Structure 1
Amino acid sequence: MTSIRPVFYVSDGTGITAETIGHSLLTQFSGFHFLTDRIAFVDDADKAREASARIRAAGEAHGVRPIVVNSCVDAGLSSVLAESGGLMLDVFAPFIEPLERELHAPRQPRVGQAHGIVDFEAYHRRINAMNYALTHDDGIAFDYAESDVILVGVSRAGKTPTCVYLALHYGIKAANYPLTDGDLESDRLPPRLKAWRRKLFGLTIDPERLHQIRQERRPDSRYAKLETCRREVQAAEAMFSLERIPTLSTTHTSIEEISSKVLSTLGLQREMF
């Protein structure tokens, strides 16, 4: 039986850092169903008390100790959050003391300070990449000249969230192309993709898992049938193999891991924001 555990990502900013690190940690553990919740902009005592009450209530509702991944820089706010009774995992704690020793200077914690260090060129690159991912999602547009990568796969194989992650965290212009029934009738690349072969990366998935995902989206439809999922995945994998497209299964792979593999395989080097 899968054990349920509430998890909170708490921050005085957006909470993206806490969520990214926390998710990477949780993927190392199986047999649990983590109920995650992000609480952002906890930048004063009142908000910290509200967050603490919310965390405590979740623990009482599920009868287990919540896990709290915290990136608040103010020790006072962290103390209030600790009153929730949750397991407190401070994102910065393991690094502050070694840095103070190395730099021969004490930290000067100020709420929101970390989020004020902005590289505007990188920021605009990330926003442009995000806009690109949204306008080139699921075959909406096919002008791939500006793309850095084009993710190819059957519907619900994980293309869209990976494109969004690549845009938000690396400023990568990622498009995605969904393989349709017409595309899968042939074991060759669809005509629209042939000119962009060097940018292609295939995503595949276990048919049983794909069946579960599609059942949640369109219960008992032809689209969600296990037979359909098996046929589509088999045809897509045959195409990737014949066309020598680099491929990764998303079945047991986190978005962070998928993105890292895409970047390294295609030789895309970008700083993480």
Structure 2
Amino acid sequence: MNESKKIVIISDGTGKTAKRLMDSVIYQYRGQQVSYSLIEIYKEVRNKGQFDNVLKKIDDDYLVIVSIISDDLMKYIRKALDDRRILHLNVLEPMLNTMSKFLGVHPDYKPGILQIVDDRYYKKVDAIGFTVEHDDGMGKFINEADVILLGLSRTCKTPISVYLACNFGLKAANIPIIPNPHSKVQIRAKLAAISRDIIFGVLMQPEVLVRIREERARILSGDDPKKAYLESYFDISEIRQELRFCREFYDELGCETMDVTKRAIEEIAFDIINRLKRKGLAE
């Protein structure tokens, strides 16, 4: 077998783009008697000085795969590698040249954009996992939440939480309020170490909540929504008392409130985001 070929990747970001492309191409040679080693991925190389430090570590035995978006820096790198007769390839160049001809405009030449996209994607994935685990008062890491919703049953806490996670990457927890003193004690204990700035008390007009709960009761009980154990669930007098309990509890906690009656989930979510922004707690 031939001596192992040495490869390095130089990138102005993480090098993931160049690494993926290299792996795809190398795979086409899997049937050949060749060996290679990826010696190093040099990340976030964004100026001449950083590149010069890399250049000291390589010679003409290497293949240099470059993923650099800056035209000026790429010209400098190309000349330096050509002068030393080091084989090199900028994996972005063919695509950029062709795309510019097709679109009729030049690129922004901003390094690391893909990594920003990747980071945002994984942040959302983490947020969704957290939100699912901390739905309906569950979960053990509520101190890591970016936002916490409190509210009665059927006041849209879960869909709001999921929307915040999926669209804004916020770790959202929600806690149901059961109108009794023991529930107060439990919630207070759970929220003891958490800033009130990220806690929002959800409210809804009683007449609307009645209809929502009545429909829910019908689904749960089949054709007989008047079963005794569900009657109080959508009784308007009971609901008014529950809402009164919530308002008093929110005042005691010192948290903001929001009425979600007949509001779209995305409108509510943007309202929460804007409130967090005003406090410097969201981008």
- Class of the TM-score when normalised by the shorter of the 2 chains: 0.5 to 0.7
> How far off is 1:266 after superposition?
2.5
> How far off is 1:211 after superposition?
0.8
Change (3 A) 1:151 1:256: same
Separation of aligned partners in 2, 1:256 and 1:106: 36
**Secondary structure, aligned partner of 1:167:** helix
> How far off is 1:168 after superposition?
0.5
1:227 aligns with 2:225: no
Residue ranges of structure 2 left out of the alignment (5+ in a row): 1-102, 106-113, 219-225
Cα-Cα RMSD? 2.9
1:203 aligns with 2:213: no
1:266 aligns with 2:264: no
> How far off is 1:198 after superposition?
3.2
Separation of aligned partners in 1, 2:147 and 2:115: 28
Structure 2 match to 1:125: 123
**Secondary structure, aligned partner of 2:261:** coil
Q: Indicate conservation of the 8 Å contact 2:150/2:175, yes or no.
A: yes
AA matched with 1:161:
P
Query: Once structures 1 and 2 are overlaid, which stretch shifts more, 159-168 or 174-183?
Result: 174-183
Separation of aligned partners in 1, 2:154 and 2:256: 19
> How far off is 1:129 after superposition?
0.5
> How far off is 1:262 after superposition?
1.2
Match of 1:253 among 258, 263, 279: 263
Count of matched residue pairs: 159
Listed one character per residue, the Cα deviations across residues 60-106 of structure 1 (whole Å, up to 9, x for unaligned) are xxxxxxxxxxxxxxxxxxxxxxxxxxxxxxxxxxxxxxxxxxxxx67
Pick the structure with greater CA Rg.
2
Structure 1 match to 2:214: 215
**Secondary structure, aligned partner of 1:145:** helix
Separation of aligned partners in 2, 1:159 and 1:173: 13
Change (3 A) 1:106 1:208: farther
Change (3 A) 1:188 1:146: closer
Listed one character per residue, the Cα deviations across residues 235-260 of structure 1 (whole Å, up to 9, x for unaligned) are 10122234331111000322112111
Change (3 A) 1:188 1:135: closer
Change (3 A) 1:175 1:163: same
AA matched with 2:202:
L
Structure 1 match to 2:150: 152
AA matched with 1:209:
V
> How far off is 1:149 after superposition?
0.7
AA matched with 2:235:
K
**Secondary structure, aligned partner of 1:190:** helix
AA matched with 2:239:
C
Q: Indicate conservation of the 8 Å contact 1:203/1:249, yes or no.
A: yes
Change (3 A) 1:247 1:168: same
Structure 2 match to 1:169: 167
Moved segments of 4+, more than 6 Å: none
Q: Indicate conservation of the 8 Å contact 2:143/2:193, yes or no.
A: no
**Secondary structure, aligned partner of 1:194:** coil
Structure 2 match to 1:112: none
**Secondary structure, aligned partner of 1:151:** strand
Structure 2 match to 1:134: 132
> How far off is 1:223 after superposition?
1.6
Change (3 A) 1:187 1:139: closer
Structure 2 match to 1:83: none
Separation of aligned partners in 1, 2:190 and 2:155: 20
Change (3 A) 1:165 1:106: farther
Residue ranges of structure 1 left out of the alignment (5+ in a row): 1-104, 108-115
Separation of aligned partners in 1, 2:149 and 2:158: 9
Separation of aligned partners in 2, 1:238 and 1:187: 14
Query: Once structures 1 and 2 are overlaid, which stretch shifts more, 167-176 or 136-145?
Result: 136-145
Q: Indicate conservation of the 8 Å contact 2:179/2:245, yes or no.
A: no
